[in-house]
């Protein structure tokens, strides 16, 4: 097959890379000894646990604590 000069303005196709976009490799091990998949699983647990959205019940409890604390500070 002979070499073909690239033509300006004509797009070419490329083969799919060995790794997905962003160089993500699910089996690669980082300096924490975890693979991307293991790390993502732990991160998801954290986002659904201590970093989750506040519930109405939690916000009510915080607001009530603040109201009482400020009322007490006003009396002191």
Partner 1 sequence: MLVWRSGTKAHQQALCQFVCTDPPKANYDEHRGKHHPRPWELEVQSHLRGQRLPAPPGSAIALGFDQQGLSAVVEYAFSRSEEQFIITALAVAQRCQRRRYGTEALQYVLQSLRVTRVNEGVDCGVFARIDPRNDASRSLFDRAGFEYIGLFGGYEMWVSDL
Q: Give the per-residue contact string, 43-62, with partner 1 (x = CB under 8 A; - = no).
A: x-xxx-xxxxxxx-xxx-xx
- Residue closer to partner 1 (CB basis): 5 or 53: 53
What is each CA distance from 54 to 35, 41, 50, in whole angstroms?
30, 21, 10
35: which DSSP letter?
B
> Minimum distance from CB of 17 to partner 1 (Å)?
20
> Minimum distance from CB of 18 to partner 1 (Å)?
21
Residues near partner 1 (CB under 8 A), total? 31
Restricted to residues 26-45, the positions that interact with partner 1 (CB under 8 A) are: 30-34, 38-43, 45
Q: For the purposes of burial, counting CB atoms within 10 Å of the CB of 22, is it exposed (0-12), middle (13-18) or buried (19 or more)? A: exposed
| Token pair listed for 50 | 């201590």
């Amino acid at each position: 097959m002979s070499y073909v000069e690239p033509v300006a303005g004509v797009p070419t196709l490329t083969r799919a890379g060995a790794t997905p976009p962003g160089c993500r490799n699910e089996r690669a091990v980082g300096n924490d000894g975890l693979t991307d998949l293991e790390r993502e699983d732990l991160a998801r647990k954290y986002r659904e646990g201590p970093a989750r959205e506040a519930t109405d019940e939690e916000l009510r409890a915080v607001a009530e604590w603040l109201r009482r604390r400020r009322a007490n500070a006003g009396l002191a």
